[in-house]
Amino acid sequence: MRGSIHMTSSDVLIVERPSDDIVVLKINRPQVRNALNLAVRVALSEAAAQYAADPAIRCLVITGNEQAFVAGADITEMAEAGPVEVMARNVQKYWRPITDCPKPVIAAVEGFALGGGLELALCADIIVAGESAKLGLPEVKLGILPGGGGTQKLARLVGSKRALLLMLTGKLFSASEAAAMGVISEVAPTGKALERALEIARDIAAMPVISVQQIKEIVHAGLNAPLETALMLERKAFQLQFATRDQKEGMKAFLEKRKPAFEGK
């Protein structure tokens, strides 16, 4: 499947395999700046679940196009909805397979990542944004609030004072501002976010898979636990590594001054 392209039946998501161990999920609604409708949410959710279960895949990358990662939720699906309908629709559930994915997820952002688009990016473990990208949670300007994790995730990343300033005004911010605040991982030259994300994905894919998955799991679990509990999780995960063949190979290769050949076992 190296280099192959598969389009879903709805054509709202393009799935690419640039290598055997990396998958790229490209949102494909350019006519509306990749606005999130139900079809996009379902396609992303199903693809994330599928590739999370694929033992050949080591890393997932989510991206849009050069104009927009995702410019927000599709307002036409929400404008006339009532609270019971919104509750029954429960679109937030579609992000669960992304946030729960045991494999690293990287968001490559160009153009706009607003509202639900920024919330989608925040589901990723690593965010690379092009220099000219614009990010924000401007839902207040529509008479609503961020409802896909934005209020909680942004506040945890940047602190409540700065998060409230951004959300209460709906102010957009640049990639460099996002990096300075800790919202994103890295700024790439405009148009190069996906290229840089793939470089990172290749670096991760070359690492021992059990160590990678354990690092991701204990970081996320530890952030929501008291420090002593989090340190205990780290100790247990550290001890577990010594049951793997990759630990033996990694240390042997270091001592022999050669490149390790990790098996993922």
Q: Which positions are annotated as active-site residues?
A: 119, 139
CA distance 99 to 153: 12
CA distance 51 to 6: 14
CA distance 230 to 220: 10
Residue 100 in tokens: 């729960």
To the nearest 10°, report the CA torsion of 5, 192, 196, 170. Answer: -100
CA distance 175 to 173: 7
- Residue 115 backbone class (left: φ over 0; alpha: ψ -120 to 50; beta: rest): left
CA distance 21 to 214: 18
